[in-house]
């Protein structure tokens, strides 16, 4: 089946050939199920090489699960998680954190996708008062939902605020590789070294078939996590096939290379869009997302040929994502469609 290549989401792209090879390469003989296999041991070593030795790694299927279960390990139902009002966790998980974790979200506005410590002080007034959910974690998305990137300094200021006040820092790193690549730093720099306690590390949006990992940078926090993962319906019997993907993904900088390509394509896409009168880039293009205000005629023209998401249900902002296998030809085709308008 031949399908239209587009910009609806980075998860519309397929599997990177190295990842597909890794799956096939793991398909040899019998392996003990549920992670007690050499492929998972190898992937775990790769994670430790990348993020530091003193960590715990748990692989799972979806980013939703990585976020919900990772937070469930550190936040009890009478506690709360602070995040931006546009956080994926808040708007795109169909209430999974509330329903599965029983956890309340407290939100702050974040027009550019990022939250800053100055917004958070007011939540501390609830501490100790049984009528209010007790703030226990801050969750940030890297890269943010509007394609911007937290720098290490920005993250450090948040984690310092959090730790000073007894809160943990969780990062939804579905596109962490794009952020690291954008800033030219390593994955560790924006996570362990930025004060993050628990990380949802994504693979699916950047060339893997499927696979997300929850990383704990303080192993005390994960001591019961194997039960949480199993009860959370995310324990993969044939885990070797996710593990082998992660080994490939973390080897020879594949994840950073994929991200770099996607980021570069986003810059190109944005610059090409800016040539159209009336199209305006709505947020700085710092990673692999381009958010643009489309005048109606362009919107109509694009929609005729492409599927993509309008970001604000009441407004004209479209979200265009580039991926590890976006080509310049894909961008040319999209421009051609717009020119028909």
Token pair of 40, please? 């998972």
Of 18-26, 214-222, 247-255, 276-284, which segment contacts a copy of itself by CB under 8 A?
18-26
Q: Quick one: which of 43, 65, 87, 292 contacts a copy of itself (CB under 8 A)? A: 65
Q: CA torsion 108→111→114→119, rounded to 10°?
A: -40
For a copy of itself, the binding residues in 282-301 under the rule CB under 8 A are none
Residue number with CB closer to a copy of itself (127 or 300): 127
Q: Is 144 among the residues that bind a copy of itself (CB under 8 A)? A: no
Q: Is 108 among the residues that bind a copy of itself (CB under 8 A)? A: no
Q: Is 303 among the residues that bind a copy of itself (CB under 8 A)? A: no
Residue number with CB closer to a copy of itself (48 or 132): 132
Q: CA-based diameter of the chain, in Å?
A: 61
Token pair of 139, please? 């969750």
How many Å apart are CA 148 and CA 287, to the nearest integer? Answer: 7
Burial of 303 (0-12, 13-18, 19+ CB in 10 A): middle
Q: Is 273 among the residues that bind a copy of itself (CB under 8 A)? A: no
Give the C-alpha distances (Å, rounded to integers) separating 337 from 299, 319, 323.
Answer: 10, 16, 20
Question: Which residues have CB under 8 Å from 94's CB, separation 6+?
Answer: none
Q: Is 336 among the residues that bind a copy of itself (CB under 8 A)? A: no
Residue number with CB closer to a copy of itself (208 or 256): 208
Phi-psi region of 207 (alpha: psi -120 to 50; beta: other; left: phi over 0): left
For a copy of itself, the binding residues in 82-101 under the rule CB under 8 A are 91-96, 98-100
CB 206 within 8 A of CB 199: no
How many Å apart are CA 76 and CA 6, to the nearest integer? Answer: 41
Give the C-alpha distances (Å, rounded to integers) separating 275 from 129, 271, 296, 297.
Answer: 55, 7, 16, 15
How many Å apart are CA 7 and CA 252, to the nearest integer? Answer: 27
How near is the Cβ of 260 to a copy of itself at its closest, in Å?
A: 20
Question: Which residues have CB under 8 Å from 56's CB, separation 6+?
Answer: 215, 216, 219, 222, 225
Q: Is 173 among the residues that bind a copy of itself (CB under 8 A)? A: no
How near is the Cβ of 187 to a copy of itself at its closest, in Å?
A: 21
Residue number with CB closer to a copy of itself (80 or 155): 80
Smallest CA-to-CA distance from 267 within 341, 182, 195, 187 is with 182
Q: Is 62 among the residues that bind a copy of itself (CB under 8 A)? A: yes
Q: How many residues line the site for a copy of itself (CB under 8 A)? A: 83
CB 19 within 8 A of CB 245: yes
Q: Is 55 among the residues that bind a copy of itself (CB under 8 A)? A: no
Token pair 């940030």 is at which residue? Answer: 140
How near is the Cβ of 227 to a copy of itself at its closest, in Å?
A: 4
For a copy of itself, the binding residues in 187-246 under the rule CB under 8 A are 204-205, 209-210, 224, 226-238, 241
Residue number with CB closer to a copy of itself (44 or 134): 134
Residue number with CB closer to a copy of itself (230 or 278): 230
Residue number with CB closer to a copy of itself (143 or 323): 323
Q: Is 143 among the residues that bind a copy of itself (CB under 8 A)? A: no
How near is the Cβ of 116 to a copy of itself at its closest, in Å?
A: 16
Residue number with CB closer to a copy of itself (163 or 227): 227
Q: Which residues pair with 134 in a beta bridge?
A: 79
Q: Is 33 among the residues that bind a copy of itself (CB under 8 A)? A: yes
Q: Is 170 among the residues that bind a copy of itself (CB under 8 A)? A: no
């Amino acid at each position: 089946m031949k399908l239209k290549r587009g910009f609806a989401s980075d998860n519309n792209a397929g599997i990177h050939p190295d990842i597909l090879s890794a799956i096939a390469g793991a398909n040899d003989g019998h392996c003990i199920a549920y992670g007690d296999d050499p492929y998972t041991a190898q992937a775990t070593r790769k994670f430790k090489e990348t993020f530091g030795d003193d960590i715990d790694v748990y692989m799972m299927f979806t980013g939703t699960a990585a976020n919900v279960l990772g937070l469930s390990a550190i936040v009890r139902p009478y506690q709360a998680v602070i995040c931006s009002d546009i956080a994926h966790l808040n708007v795109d998980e169909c209430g999974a954190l509330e329903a599965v974790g029983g956890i309340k979200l407290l939100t702050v506005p974040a027009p550019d996708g990022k939250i800053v410590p100055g917004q958070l002080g007011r939540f501390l007034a609830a501490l100790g008062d049984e009528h209010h959910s007790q703030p226990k974690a801050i969750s940030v998305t890297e890269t943010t939902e509007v394609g911007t990137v937290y720098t290490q300094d920005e993250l450090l200021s948040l984690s310092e605020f959090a730790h000073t006040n007894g809160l943990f820092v969780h990062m939804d790193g579905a596109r962490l590789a794009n952020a690291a690549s954008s800033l030219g730093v390593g994955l560790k720099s924006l996570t362990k070294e930025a004060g993050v306690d628990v990380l949802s590390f994504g693979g699916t949006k950047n060339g893997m078939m499927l696979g997300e990992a929850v990383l704990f940078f303080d192993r005390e926090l994960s001591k019961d996590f194997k039960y949480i993962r199993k009860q959370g319906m995310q324990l993969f019997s044939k885990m070797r096939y996710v593990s082998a993907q992660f080994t490939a993904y973390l080897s020879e900088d594949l994840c950073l290379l994929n991200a770099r390509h996607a980021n570069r394509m986003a810059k190109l896409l944005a610059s090409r869009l800016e040539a159209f009168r009336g199209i305006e880039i709505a947020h700085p293009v710092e990673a692999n997302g381009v958010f643009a205000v489309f005048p109606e005629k362009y919107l109509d023209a694009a929609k005729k040929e492409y599927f993509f998401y309008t970001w604000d249900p009441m407004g004209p902002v479209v979200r265009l994502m580039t991926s590890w296998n976006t080509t310049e030809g894909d961008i040319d085709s999209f421009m051609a469609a717009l020119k028909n308008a």
